[in-house]
Structure 1
């Protein structure tokens, strides 16, 4: 059920075209909230708003924000004439229309009818949103001229506006284009599923390489198949089905205190042993012998080393890339220093992907 409360806007913390971060008075307390301007309209100080407070009250990972459901002082934006008929968040009180790039009246509709193959487009597929920055930064640092498209799935946050990471990467011209697929929305292009998202990346954004991850906020239950990152295996298969080169990024950590995420996470072990049906390129970072031995024991136990092509790459260039773009990284609250191996795995996949490009260039 929804937890809904009334609040009053007392301060604008930041504002962009897509979202406004606000401070609201709720139950005589000051709380932070997010207003999606393109959904619920603009918001101003002294406006009374209805807030979805569910996640904060349950202490879930929304970054500590409530969400504006309705602004009692202003109307929502009017629907643009003749701009889209595909609904996302379908049959919910918040369903919204988008102009999906494959719609029949969209200028790009014919490209989906004419599509034949991704023609070995490298596609790096991760399982956490925190993988995006290290992958993209490494790619752009190694080859400043390549075009990178980010495809965000609907396995976590649905509005791409929620991601400060995406905003930062686009502002710094690291990611060139974004595509939101399924019920995710707000990308430069909208697509109804991952297959058309991949086709759009190749045929419309004309990227040299694509990165696919969910938005912020993976869901996990501690059960073998009960995590939204399980989509990684299906996406890798989709890349191969369409004629691309699927590059899988395993979730690796020697800093996570949870045993099931130590070494190669049980999430990745499940994806690469059970879910991905096609042979993919699984990239490991170059590590000291002790850690490397532990990873290979995990892979051999589940015969993943026989099912997929295991490739080791040096991801240590990451620190240079982050310094170049003045970026920092975090996953589960841990920084590059706190969880080095996790981020090296991401950078290693980018190094490998960059090496596949015809216009390869390394500083």
Structure 2
């Protein structure tokens, strides 16, 4: 059941594409007196309308009450002092967040009313499009940084990168400040929301149609498939939303793309199952992915404290994924000082599980080298 609260908007804060931060003073106190009477809240104007200071609102505080990681936000459900104006008539019949109180109707890229319907109706092949897959949203800016570095090294144009956001984490793309910042900086050309996710530049029914839209509508040079922020996990092998990374590998391959597996790596996570290559990567790519992919293993700079020994651990763990023991292809890519420098140029904050580049460099370096390899594939004939 949802934990509801009503309150008054005291302050309208920062906005980015699709989202606005508010400070809401709650009417009803918490049973736990340590919880705040004023809460940072997030509103999506496309769902609840524009909200000004003094407006009364209903907010969902369930995650705050349980201390879960929603970015510290209460979420605005609706105005409490009158309904928003009806939206203007518009085409499209794809319903996302289906059969929830906040289900939204959007225009799908392959909708009959879409200008791209004819293109998508006949689309069936990615024509060798490199597709980088990762399981954590925090990998996205690092992958893009690596791709841009590889283009610079090769003296080629910066690649056009489409981000495909799957629905394992946040459903609204508007929740991600990384997506907004990367788009504003020109680091990604388009955001495509797949499945129940919504709010992208293009809306699609499945990862398959999202990838086809990346190639045939957005004209991307490469695609990155990662769930939105706020993944769900239970500390078990299969109870993690990121295992869908293996299904994305399958989708890329069946459509004639070139799947690239970005490994989730950490040298700082205190949990043994996440040290080196996370067990989630081993499950997604070793158990769920049923077709060969390029597994990109970072070769860390031995001069960097702690990274040299980690290289050996990661290489040993990756052996179960790649030939001859596994089905995938081993690709080793140096993760040297230039890759680190490329990461420092990111227009958005690098953070994974609360750790930044300095606290856990291996996490971001491992993602970046997957982007480096994806750009190298652009100059190789498709298999």
> What RMSD, in angstroms, separates the aligned Cα atoms of the two structures?
1.8
Q: 1:306 aligns with which of 316, 319, 326?
A: 326
Is 1:318 aligned with 2:339?
yes
In the alignment, the residues of structure 2 paired with residue 292 and residue 15 of structure 1 have an alpha-carbon distance, to the nearest angstrom, of: 41
Pick aligned residue for 1:230 from 206, 229, 243: 243
Cα 1:70–1:208, aligned 2, differ >3 Å: closer, same or farther?
A: same
Task: Name which of 116, 123, 127 aligns with 1:119.
Answer: 127
Secondary structure of the equivalent of 2:53? coil
- The one of 312, 322, 332 equivalent to 2:353 is 332
CA 198–37 in structure 1, closer or farther in 2 if over 3 Å, else same: same
3-state SS, counterpart of residue 24 of structure 1: strand
**Alignment TM-score, normalising by the size of structure 1:** 0.94
Give the Cα–Cα distance (whole angstroms) in 2 for the partners of residues 285 and 307 of structure 1.
19
1:328 is displaced (CA, Å) by 3.5
Structure 1 runs (4+) greater than 3 angstroms displaced: 299-306, 322-328
Partners of 1:260 and 1:48 lie apart in 2 by 46
Change (3 A) 1:172 1:43: same
After superposition, give the CA deviation of every residue in 1:123-146 in whole Å (9 maximum; x if it has no partner).
111100000011112223443532
Deviation at residue 162 of structure 1 after TM alignment: 0.4
Q: Of the candidates 281, 298, 316, which is equivalent to residue 297 of structure 1? A: 316
Partner residue, 2:189: 176
Contact 1:118 1:244 (8 Å CA) reproduced:
yes
Equivalent pair of 1:315/1:351 in contact (CA under 8 Å): no
Note if 1:65 corresponds to 2:86.
no
Q: Secondary structure at the match of 2:212?
A: helix
Aligned to 1:348: 369
User: Is the partner of 1:220 in helix, strand or coil?
Assistant: coil
User: In 1, Cα distance between the equivalents of 2:341 and 2:321?
Assistant: 35
Count of residue pairs brought into register by the alignment: 359
2:87 to 79, 101, 105: 79
Distance change (3 Å), C-alpha of 1:17 and 1:310: closer
**8 Å Cα contact 1:134-1:318 kept in structure 2:** no
Deviation at 1:68, TM superposition (A): 0.7
Match of 2:305 in 1: none
Secondary structure of 2:226's counterpart equals strand
Distance 1:94 1:146, change over 3 A: same
3-state DSSP of counterpart to 1:336: coil
Q: Distance in 2 between matches of 1:263 and 1:284?
A: 11
Deviations 1:186-211 (A, max 9, x none): 00000000000000000000000111
CA contact (8 A) 1:152 1:215 kept: yes
CA distance in 2, matches of 1:206, 1:119: 12
Report the Cα offset of residue 325 of structure 1.
4.6
Counterpart of 1:284?
297
Q: How far does residue 11 in structure 1 lie from its aligned partner after superposition?
A: 0.6
Question: Following TM superposition, by how much is the alpha carbon of 1:357 offset from its aligned partner in structure 2, in angstroms?
Answer: 1.8
Structure 1 residue 101 and structure 2 residue 113: aligned? no
Structure 2 distance, partners of 1:155, 1:325, is: 24
Match for 1:49 among 57, 60, 78? Answer: 57
Partner residue of 1:211 out of 217, 220, 224: 224
Residue 39 (str. 1) matches residue 47 (str. 2):
yes
Q: 1:69 to 1:274 in 2, by over 3 A?
A: same
Displacement of 1:173 after TM fit?
0.7
